[in-house]
């Protein structure tokens, strides 16, 4: 069992408050990192808010047809900080996990925004993310979602990431999570996500009418299920 002493910085609108919690507990995916070709897959920290904000902003048009409509406030540094706090909370509660894909070949030390959240001297290039959410440790179930940068799409990168993540989950190195089934909810007009599911051996299960809002419109969704091999 892994143990950890965690220091959380909780931000409110008026000031910063620092709370220290001594947690002797198992940590979900401790120090998780996978390397594939020239990419690294890992979760990010509160110091990465600038790079995450830039990732979302640079893909504003690319992502809008597959995600709920986002206001300008979504891209603000304060909001990205809150999103990361929530990701940390979900990971520690073992109900969700978002991993980011980093292009290790990207180097840029110019025009990096430095603020009270980030003191990094070098920007990282985020080119995608993949999430497990609504994780049920008792039912061995999780839903999956994914996004890929417009300049890296249709190159098979997400399929590689997905399959390496599955290999890890079934390896002896992973003591954190054991899944029997993954579910993907795909807008019916998102052909690329549908093809991703089929290419990676998800099976069509059903169609949900008026399931979720995408870019300001309520849309029907296909449900794809992947039953995982048990080793």
Q: How many domains does the chain have?
A: 1
Over 80: is that where the pLDDT of 105 sits?
A: yes
Write b or e for each residue in 89-99: b if 16 or more Cβ atoms lie within 10 A of its Cβ, otherwise e: ebbbebbbbbb
Over 80: is that where the pLDDT of 195 sits?
A: yes
- Residue of higher predicted confidence among 13 and 168: 168
What's the whole-number average pLDDT of the chain? 81
Length of the chain: 231
- Residue 65: predicted pLDDT: 85
* Number of CB atoms found within 10 A of residue 49's CB: 25
pLDDT in tens, 14-61: 443 333 333 323 345 556 788 988 999 998 988 899 999 999 999 999
Find the mean pLDDT for residues 138-151: 93
The residue range of the domain holding 192 is: 4-227
- What is the CATH number for 31? 3.40.630.30
Q: Shortest CA distance to 58 belongs to which of 13, 120, 106?
A: 106
């Amino acid at each position: 069992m892994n143990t950890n002493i965690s220091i959380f910085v909780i931000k409110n609108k008026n000031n910063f408050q620092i709370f220290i919690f001594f947690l002797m507990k198992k940590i979900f995916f401790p120090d998780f990192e996978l390397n594939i070709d020239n990419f690294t897959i890992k979760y990010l920290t509160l110091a990465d808010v600038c790079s995450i904000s830039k990732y979302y902003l640079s893909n504003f048009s690319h992502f809008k047809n597959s995600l709920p409509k986002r206001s300008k406030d979504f891209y603000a540094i304060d909001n990205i900080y809150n999103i990361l706090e929530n990701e940390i909370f979900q990971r520690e509660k073992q109900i969700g996990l978002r991993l980011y894909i980093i292009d290790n070949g990207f180097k840029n030390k110019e025009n990096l925004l430095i603020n009270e959240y980030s003191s990094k001297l070098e920007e990282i290039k985020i080119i995608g993310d993949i999430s497990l959410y609504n994780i049920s440790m008792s039912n061995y179930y999780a839903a999956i979602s994914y996004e890929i940068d417009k300049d890296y799409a249709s190159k098979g990168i997400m399929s590689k990431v997905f399959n390496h993540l599955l290999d890890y989950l079934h390896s002896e190195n992973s003591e954190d999570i054991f899944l029997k089934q993954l579910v993907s909810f795909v807008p019916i007009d998102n052909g690329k996500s549908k093809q991703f599911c089929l290419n990676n051996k998800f099976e069509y299960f059903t169609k949900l009418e008026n399931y979720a809002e995408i870019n300001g419109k309520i849309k029907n969704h296909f449900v794809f299920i992947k039953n995982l091999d048990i080793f």
